[in-house]
Amino acid sequence: MSDDVNGSPETTRKPWYRPRNIVLAILGLIAATIAYAWWWQASLKPTISHDYQADLIALAAAGQPEGENGWPHVERACEAAWDLRWGRAEEPFNLQFDFAALLRSESASADEARVGDARADAPATEADIMRAIKALDGCGAFDALTRAMACPRHVKTEFQHDDDLPGYEETLLGVLVPEVQSLRMLREVTLARMCLHARHGQTEAMLDDLQRALFIDEVLIQQPFMMHTMAGSRGAISTLNAVRQLVTHEPQDPETLGRFDDMIRRFPTTGHVESAIESERFVMLDLVQHLFTDDGEGDGMLIMSKYNEIASPMASVNDPTAEFTIDLPLGNYAGLLLAGRRETVKFLDGYFDRWRRRARMSRDERLGSAEDSSPLVGNLPPRLAHTAIMFPVSERILETTDRLQSEVAGTRIMLAIERHRLGRGPHPTTLDDLVPDFLAELPADPYSADGIRYRAMSNPNPGDLPYALFSVGPDGEPDTDDDLKFTLPPKGAPSP
């Protein structure tokens, strides 16, 4: 510092690039970038360019014959069931009940005859079932099912979206499917009525109800959502169990057993899985177009705000223990961190293609295949972390289909054994005795190349049937906890 001519001290100007100013400039630049990024992310909008809902409807219709669509009749029956179980009925019906208890019921009072699942809060009584049957019959639900059965095709053509789920309103993930629960309700009541008809010796009415129950399961399988397919397959397993209970507790004549077998033989246990997988592909590709921008050439970037809006509720559906949301809204700024639309679609297509190939394999081929169609959420590449919400539980539908095929095989063999007993006296020594008079060939068991297992017992325990009929189950080993048992104690004997 020096003095000027007036004697005042001279001030030296400090340079602008001193450290303090540089730090402030950097912080200001970061703040401006973040503010711009927030605004930019908020301004991103998805481009909905394809109608996957139409694809789903076309997929469901492709495997069905031409002719009148019976789905409107199905919907009318569903509305009646919905009102009975959840809606305007004065006393909502508890659909958890035990077919064997209903068949064995010898109570003098229907109000006291407990035929419900003992695990239920309020086990249903026979009076509950009679009330449900009367209500559904009175509103024409059973007649609507009969009219639907007369139609050659059954395709759901209108979808209602759930407006209460943020982010889902326009996606196929947000489609409401109340018919799944309604048809389940109808099937359970129909099977209960079948059991009551059997108790009173009303054979034709009993057979009509079995036909309705199997129709309900089949019509669910035909619909364009995997949820329907799973519900239909599981429902068919319940229906087959009811048939075995009925045959055990209310023995039928050989002709009726043959008609049971004919209905069950025609039930579709295969052929629907690939359609279910393809429908899931459409649902996920529809989700992609709601989560990504579109540059007009098939690419685009993930919109983080949309993704997190949808990911949070989906976490509890796919894997409650997994973390699906991505906490940093700016983590994909400029699309540098996560895969873009084209890469995401390619990855999903590869996944669903592998899954379809596995659906064409036998169970043994799937178990021996090195190709895994179920990538674990924790093993996804970082660039594809956002696809964690887009993978359904792939093997579950294949496992359910295996179970259904085994249940059909076991039930048909049980019916053939009973026909053999009624027609020739004793039970067969081996299952080969059933061919060709009672079965054209022994139905295959997907769990074992050796088929359904049969053991004739010369000295059964009191209350036991003189044979055991079972599948080795998923582990492939007999006499383990996962065996599927197709024989039951006769009427009057305690349940196993």
pLDDT tens-digit readout, 364-395: 888 887 666 555 555 788 888 888 777 766 67
Q: State the DSSP string of 139-166.
A: TTHHHHHHHHHTSSB------EE-TTST
The yes-or-no verdict on residue 114 having pLDDT over 80 is no
Question: Is 30 found in the same domain as 69?
Answer: no
Show which of 235, 269, 303 is a domain's final residue.
269
Q: Is residue 197 part of a domain?
A: yes
Distance CA 403, CA 110 (A): 35
Q: What is the pTM of this model?
A: 0.84
Q: Is residue 428 part of a domain?
A: yes
Q: Is residue 310 part of a domain?
A: yes
Cis bond before residue 436 (omega within 30° of 0): yes
Question: Is 246 found in the same domain as 102?
Answer: yes
Q: Is residue 312 part of a domain?
A: yes
Distance CA 456, CA 431 (A): 10
Q: What is the mean pLDDT of residues 332-346?
A: 81
Per the structure, how many domains does the chain have? 4
The yes-or-no verdict on residue 110 having pLDDT over 60 is no
- Beta-strand ranges (E) seen in 414-466 are 453-456
Query: pLDDT at position 42, please?
Result: 62
Question: Is 35 found in the same domain as 90?
Answer: no
Question: Is 74 found in the same domain as 193?
Answer: yes
Cα distances from 376 to residues 119, 311, 327, 399, in angstroms, run 34, 17, 20, 18
Q: What is the mean pLDDT of residues 328-335?
A: 56
Contacts of 57 (CB under 8 A, 6+ apart): 155, 156, 157, 224
Query: pLDDT at position 23, please?
Result: 81
User: How is residue 130 written in tokens?
Assistant: 């009679």
Question: Is 448 found in the same domain as 373?
Answer: no
Q: Which residues pair with 69 in a beta bridge?
A: 153
Domain that residue 261 falls in: 54-269
Q: Is residue 452 part of a domain?
A: yes
Distance CA 283, CA 174 (A): 10
Q: Is residue 301 part of a domain?
A: yes
Question: Is 352 found in the same domain as 430?
Answer: no
Query: pLDDT at position 442, please?
Result: 97
Are 188 and 95 in contact, with CB atoms under 8 Å apart? yes
Which of 7-11, 66-70, 119-123, 318-322 is modeled with the greatest confidence? 66-70
Question: Is 316 found in the same domain as 263?
Answer: no
Q: Is residue 168 part of a domain?
A: yes
Which of 37-46, 160-169, 401-410, 481-490 is modeled with the greatest confidence? 401-410
231: closest CA among 219, 242, 241, 243? 219
pLDDT band at 205 (very low <50, low <70, confident <90, very high): very high
Distance CA 28, CA 25 (A): 5
Question: Is 89 found in the same domain as 234?
Answer: yes
The answer for 392, left when phi > 0, alpha when psi is -120 to 50, beta otherwise, is: beta
User: How is residue 444 written in tokens?
Assistant: 């295959």
Question: Is 472 found in the same domain as 432?
Answer: yes
Q: Is residue 167 part of a domain?
A: yes
Q: Can you list the alpha helix ranges (DSSP code H) found in 319-374?
A: 341-359, 363-368
User: How is residue 478 written in tokens?
Assistant: 């007999």
Distance CA 328, CA 85 (A): 44
Question: Is 100 found in the same domain as 17?
Answer: no
Distance CA 428, CA 430 (A): 5
Question: Is 208 found in the same domain as 91?
Answer: yes
Cα distances from 214 to residues 25, 149, 208, 416, in angstroms, run 73, 11, 10, 19
pLDDT band at 312 (very low <50, low <70, confident <90, very high): low
Question: Is 60 found in the same domain as 37?
Answer: no
Query: pLDDT at position 50, please?
Result: 92
Q: State the DSSP string of 177-218.
A: -HHHHHHHHHHHHHHHHHHHHHHTT-HHHHHHHHHHHHHHHH
Q: What is the mean pLDDT of residues 165-184?
A: 84
